[in-house]
Amino acid sequence: MLDIKFVRENPEIVKENIKKKFQDAKLPLVDEVIDLDKNIRALKLEAETLRASRNELSKKIGQLMREKKIEEANQIKETVNKNNQRIQEIEPELDKLAEELNKKMMVIPNILDKSVPIGKDDSENVENEKFGEPVVPNYEIPYHADIIAKFNGLDKEASGRTSGNGFYYLIGDIARLHSAMLSYARDYMIDHGFTYCIPPFMIHSDVVNGVMSFAEMENMMYKIENEDLYLIGTSEHSMIGRFKGQIIKENELPITLTSYSPCFRKEVGAHGIEERGIYRVHQFEKQEMIVLCKPEDSMTWYNKMWKLTVDFFRSLDVPVRTLECCSGDLADLKVKSCDVEAWSPRQKKYFEVGSCSTLGDAQARRLGIRTKNENGTYLVHTLNNTVLATPRGLIAVLENNYNEDGSINIPKALQPYMGGKTIIK
């Protein structure tokens, strides 16, 4: 969410930013929030003036009473009562206008970084850089569900009976490989100086509203019936929510955290849920990284973070590339974002395995997360990035380490987590 002062002083910049995101329907919001802000400030000034007058008149009443000027004191009391009545009228009016202003401000998109390419949707995202040689072997790579089936590693028929479409059982060596990847991702991030954390897997609606847009929430999150609780779609939500309403000492920044959680998503949209595979599912597990830092450090951390994910997948013998998200593909709170995509030798193309984003002070403004130095308090910047989301990451490892005889090479980095195994057959 933007600072209303910024919108007030830079309406054309805000409107141009909306156009870059191809959200022209939101353009009237800029003038609407400016008018609301004007009315709010006028009412606040009126209330402050009335309170000041009331205080002065109250003193005068006391003086007149001491001087036995009862009639004059009573006349002034009538004025004080009128002032009080008007103040009481203003307060609910202010609350109503403030709520309306906040509601409109919440849907005005954040200001894009100048480096973000302009495009309508994800088809116009821009490839940045490739890491590792994308290889297509001279033998067929089966569909990932068929690879796993050879190891009796997947049971979607049973999960269909227990939970419905979009869920799965992983079994045996495949389940162990899945867990090995998560354990390695945890230790990889700890070795890079991040503090490990396991957060709550449910959060209140005020935290949800603080970390994401309403449209995203409706499309992604499962609500617990009759409770003000939502299942998290990513641990970033509860991790950032941890600092809600807090003032962090400036010398404690940056705060660098890595969190494990299961994630739950409706996955509403055009893609749908796969019947056979585990690429797009309602439940998965994830190792995330989160950074809270000074505003001047956020772009430096952004570049460090996506590079950590690239190096993580390269250590698993998976070629990857980074894809710069264009303006129309960015969620409204994001300043800049890139996807890390893994090579699929079966499909002969890349697919998304992670996403790195800087949100500027948008989440911090919504949640009231500040830091303090000798000059006062200011909002921190928040960033998040996927280290590993699996089973999608599992698919990348299976395809890129698949042998012609149907066996799977275990990347060296994962072997300690697999009891020393170098291959599964």
303: in domain = yes
Q: How far apart are CA 153 and CA 276, in angstroms?
A: 13
410: in domain = yes
pLDDT band at 270 (very low <50, low <70, confident <90, very high): very low
Give yes or no: residues 87 and 136 share one domain: no
Give yes or no: residues 30 and 139 share one domain: no
Q: How far apart are CA 140 and CA 117, in angstroms?
A: 37
Give yes or no: residues 83 and 145 share one domain: no
**Residue 142: is the preceding peptide bond cis (ω within 30°)?**
no
CB atoms within 10 A of CB 193: 8
Give yes or no: residues 142 and 81 share one domain: no
For residue range 352-381, list pLDDT tens digits in order: 999 999 999 999 999 999 999 988 999 999
Q: Domain holding 299: CATH number?
A: 3.30.930.10
User: Six-digit token pair at 98?
Assistant: 């403030």
What separation in angstroms does the CA of 110 have from each of 113, 125, 142, 218?
Answer: 9, 19, 43, 20
Q: How far apart are CA 135 and CA 319, in angstroms?
A: 8
Can you spell out the DSSP letters for 101-135? Answer: HHHHHTTSPPPPPTTSPP-SSGGG-EEEEEES---
Task: Look at residues 77, 105, 133 and tell me which one is the last residue of a structural domain.
Answer: 105
Q: How far apart are CA 406 and CA 269, in angstroms?
A: 34
For 347-378, letters b (16+ CB in 10 Å) and e give eeebeebbbbbbbbbbbbbbbebbbeeeeeee
pTM, two decimal places:
0.90
Give yes or no: residues 340 and 279 share one domain: yes
Give yes or no: residues 162 and 210 share one domain: yes
The answer to whether 275 and 165 have CB atoms below 8 angstroms apart is: yes
- In terms of DSSP bridges, do strands 370-373 and 230-231 run parallel, antiparallel, or are they unpaired? unpaired
Mean pLDDT in residue range 276-291 = 93
Q: How far apart are CA 254 and CA 295, in angstroms?
A: 10
Give yes or no: residues 251 and 374 share one domain: yes
113: in domain = no
Give yes or no: residues 251 and 126 share one domain: yes
For residue range 398-408, list pLDDT tens digits in order: 999 999 999 99
- pLDDT at position 80 is 81
- pLDDT at position 368 is 96
Q: How far apart are CA 281 and CA 272, in angstroms?
A: 9
398: in domain = yes
Mean pLDDT in residue range 25-40 = 96
Give yes or no: residues 79 and 145 share one domain: no
Give yes or no: residues 160 and 100 share one domain: no
- pLDDT at position 251 is 94
315: in domain = yes
The answer to whether 353 and 400 have CB atoms below 8 angstroms apart is: no
pLDDT at 112 over 60: yes
Q: Which of 258, 333, 324 is nearest to 291 (CA)?
A: 258
pLDDT at 273 over 60: no
Task: Look at residues 46, 74, 105 and tell me which one is the last residue of a structural domain.
Answer: 105
The three-state secondary structure class of 25 is helix
- pLDDT at position 394 is 97
339: in domain = yes
What is the dihedral sign for C-alpha 210, 214, 215, 220?
A: positive
- In terms of DSSP bridges, do strands 230-231 and 247-249 run parallel, antiparallel, or are they unpaired? unpaired
Domain count, the chain: 2
Give yes or no: residues 291 and 376 share one domain: yes
334: in domain = yes
pLDDT at 9 over 90: yes
pLDDT at 411 over 90: yes
Task: Look at residues 63, 80, 105 and tell me which one is the last residue of a structural domain.
Answer: 105
What separation in angstroms does the CA of 242 have from each of 39, 197, 201, 208, 363?
Answer: 34, 11, 12, 12, 12
For residue range 305-364, list pLDDT tens digits in order: 999 999 999 999 999 999 999 999 999 999 999 999 999 999 999 999 999 999 999 999
For residue range 210-264, list pLDDT tens digits in order: 998 766 777 788 999 999 999 999 999 999 999 999 999 999 999 999 999 999 9
User: Six-digit token pair at 399?
Assistant: 């395809």
Domain span at 65: 4-105
229: in domain = yes
Q: Which residues share a beta bridge with 291?
A: 256, 383
- pLDDT at position 268 is 52
Give yes or no: residues 99 and 233 share one domain: no
Q: Domain holding 35: CATH number?
A: 1.10.287.40
For residue range 150-192, list pLDDT tens digits in order: 999 999 999 999 998 889 999 999 999 999 999 999 999 999 9
